[in-house]
Structure formats: C-alpha cells, structure tokens
Structure 1
C-alpha cells in the first residue's frame, strides 16, 4: 500500500481544528477522512472570578473564557496540557501551572499539596472527567465546576464508520473517549456497529491518552498507538507512520 492510498479518519470539531487535522494528514502523504464527531455548543456561562485556582482543560474552553469576558484577577491559572496553555496565552492570559502529565490525574497530582482549604474553579465541557473534581475535593479543595460548553454528536456524523465496516478505513485518530462513543453510536444507528469494530481491528487505531484507550478497549476496539504527549499532531504522525511506514521514503 502506498501512503497516498492510506485513509485516516479524523474526528475533530468542524472548525480550524478539523482543517488543521486534514492539512496535517495530507502533508504526511495520507488521505484524510474528515468525520467530525463533536460539535461545540456554548452555554453562555463564564468562569467564576472568586477562586484561588482556576483550571481550564481545553483550547475551546480558553477561547470561550475570553469570549465571555472572563478576567482572572488574582486567581492562579492552571492548564491541562500545552495546547490549552498555548490557547490561554493566545487569548492574553498568563498561565501559572501546567502538569507534567496532561490529564486530570496529572492536574490533581500537581495541585494536591497546594489546594487544601482553597477555592478551585474548574471551567470545561459537560463531559469532563469526574477524576479531576473528586481528586481536588479529596485534597481538601472547595471545588466549583462551570460548564462552558456542551459537546454533542453532529447530525450526519459516521461516514468513517461505514468505511471501517466495509474494510476501507486504514487508520483512525480518536482524541477523546467521547469521540469513541460517538463513533460507535453513529455506527449503531446505521446498524453496522459490529462490522465497524471488526473493520477497526484491521486498521491502525490511535488514541490520545490512557482514558481514551480504556474506553476504546472496553468497547472491543484494539488500540495500536498512544502518543507520549496528548497532542493531535503527535498522534496523527504516529498513526500514519504505523499505517504506512514507508512515508518517509
């Protein structure tokens, strides 16, 4: 198989993230299959301004925080991951803390010795991990969660599931547990869930992070690639290299 014949499903929301993902896969010499599995719906809420620590977990959250006019004041701004930190800085915010491990667990480990008795604001989507809230509360923090946006499955999503079911998908890049769940739900609606999962067994499946791996494997999807960092570019490069290792030639 040549690299150009390698089809790679990407599930990013239908905005610049999807366009960037498509361009990256094309630059690697593969053929992207753009199938957005997440749609962002803003709630209109803004992070609280009276917290000692404020945790943001995504690039989308950083952008929405700015749109709502949020100003950090004296709060310590914490970002899960370099992408979130970069997005916050792009929006004009200073970032004080970023965990070494880009995950809810990593953030809990970073803050555990700091937040006893402190007010911690967690601003994120409606599908955030309970691990973050429980871990901070166990560390003695007074935790408040603000849902900045909801994540829903776009109408019509699932073309990649049809390709997987027919054996025509060579690779897939799952960026969250929710993208896995929505892929399977789209396949279920089409009556091809079992065939789609079987098709993924013959494809290279990459995921960002251990929670996404656990979700995929619990649904019978074998995972081939988990990048060291929770970064889409790193994920896509590793997946394409695994699916078509001659692309460097």
Structure 2
C-alpha cells in the first residue's frame, strides 16, 4: 500500500500476539518493529479449572480476548461435552483463536467492544442465565455489570494478567528512537501499552517523547476508543479506525498518509 511503503511502524502488543501483525504490516510495504510494552501471564489456574467444571451449568461463555481463550483451554479440553453451552467472542480475531480448538463462536458482535457485546446480547433474554467470563481482572466492568443489570448471573474468572515486561530493553530503545524521530508510527492496541511506555519514559526522565507524540512528529494509532481515551488524557490525538481491528487500523493509516501527500 503506497501510503505506508517504507514506513517504520512500532507494534506494542505482547510478543506472542505480534506475529500476525508483523506479517500484516509487511504486506503493506512497511517495516514492523516489535516492541512489547506489556507482557501477558497466566493468573489463577484454579479459577479456570472451576469455571470448566461449571460448563454444564452455564448458558454462555464469553471470551473478550485471544489470551482469555488460551488461558481457559489450557485447563479445559472437554468443553464440547456441554451441549447447551453457547460461546460469544468479542471479535473475529478472537474467533480465529477459538477456531483453533475446533469450536465455532455462536455470537460475534458488530462492534468489537464491551458495549458492542452488550448490544449483541439484546436479542436474548438473559434474565436467570449463568454466563462465564474468563478475563483479566483489570478490564472494565462494563460488560459484566451490563449483563447483571439485565438479570444474568455472571461468573468472573481471573484468566491472565497484563504486566510490565520483565525485559524493558526494547522499551528503552523505543523511547530513544522516538526522541531521535527514527520511527514513523506507533500502534497502540490497549490502554496499558500506552501507560507502560509513558511510565518508563518518565522514570528515565525522557518524557519529552510526549511533546513529539503530541505534535504528531511521530504518528500515533489507537485500535479503539478505550485506548484512544488514555492517549487523549496525555493530549495525544491518535488515528483510530471505525472498525477496531489491526487491519482496519492499517487501512486508516494508508488513507491518512495518502491524504497528507495530496
């Protein structure tokens, strides 16, 4: 794609989630630079095991990230035996991870957010239903509270946690590259990918990167409104696609770059 050809694009998502993104960035003629600013780790296996044991009592199981699926199926390999259980996923990429376990999602919302999931569930009477929700406990409570307000019983299970990477060397390199303006675009895929970068920059007394990002000397992209909200708080105005996927974010960047060259 002409707009991104030769551009150096930083991918801040966790290393294990980055490979597909790397290939996608390359397909646009850009140069991917993987710099994870978060690290995902399993949190409470006992809660995954207990949720698995409840599978025959659940009406729905909702996965809001690929990592939640991986954490759950690490401890639950017989979910197909739950005949009445339906599964919802937050978006098509999460659905692709579910496919790897030879299970098809029964519901994918049009809008890949908690609000979109709640909207998709409006077609069901969830009153009295039991809904399992394995996820990170730092996630917003929009989805569980919304379902509970409609009368559902939501069983939360702590699937994984997002932390600062143990090895911060690549983050230090990224900060220096931003200061030297040796990259063109940074793509943020979650609020914590933003917060951790800023935290390290401030600890290193290099929060001058904020001026560069605020002045759009290095472009910033956000995959969705929750990540954008965090960037807005730092007075950074990111590029954001209408559909919250990595590919749509790249397409939006192509559009912006091409328009800037006209």
TM range (shorter): 0.7 to 0.9
1:76 lines up with 2:68 in the alignment: no
Query: How far 1:238 moved relative to its partner?
Result: 2.9
The total of aligned residue pairs comes to 243
| 1:197 matched residue in structure 2 | 210
Pairwise CA RMSD: 2.3
Deviation, 1:244, is 6.5
Match of residue 110 from structure 2: 100
Q: Decide which of 147, 152, 164 is 2:163's aligned counterpart.
A: 152
Give the TM-score taking structure 1 as reference length: 0.88
The corresponding residue for 2:149 is 138
Deviations 1:132-165 (CA, angstroms, capped at 9, x unpaired):
1221111111111111111112131523232223
Which of 95, 117, 136 lines up with 2:128 in the alignment? 117
Where structure 1 has 5 or more consecutive residues not aligned to the other structure, the ranges are none
**Which segments of structure 1 move beyond 3 Å, counting only runs of 4 or more?**
2-5, 240-247
Superposed, 1:155-234 pairs within 5 Å as 155-156=167-168, 157-158=170-171, 159-193=173-207, 195-200=208-213, 201-223=216-238, 225-234=239-248
Q: Distance in 2 between matches of 1:241 and 1:106?
A: 25
Asked if structure 2 preserves the Cα contact closer than 8 Å seen for 1:204 and 1:239, the reply is no
TM-score by length of 2: 0.84
Which of 53, 70, 73 lines up with 1:66 in the alignment? 73
Residue 64 of structure 2 is matched in structure 1 by: 57
**Structure 1 CA distance, aligned partners of 2:175 and 2:255?**
22
User: Which structure dedicates a bigger proportion of its chain to helix?
Assistant: 2
Q: Distance in 1 between matches of 2:258 and 2:202?
A: 29
1:87 pairs with one of 83, 97, 111: 97
**Equivalent position of 2:250 in the other structure:** 236
Whether the 8 Å contact between 2:4 and 2:253 is mirrored in structure 1 is no
SS in 2 for 1:122: strand
Report the secondary structure of 1:173's partner residue: strand
- SS in structure 1 opposite 2:156? strand
Pair 1:19–1:87, CA change in 2 (3 A): closer
3-state SS of 1:180 partner: helix
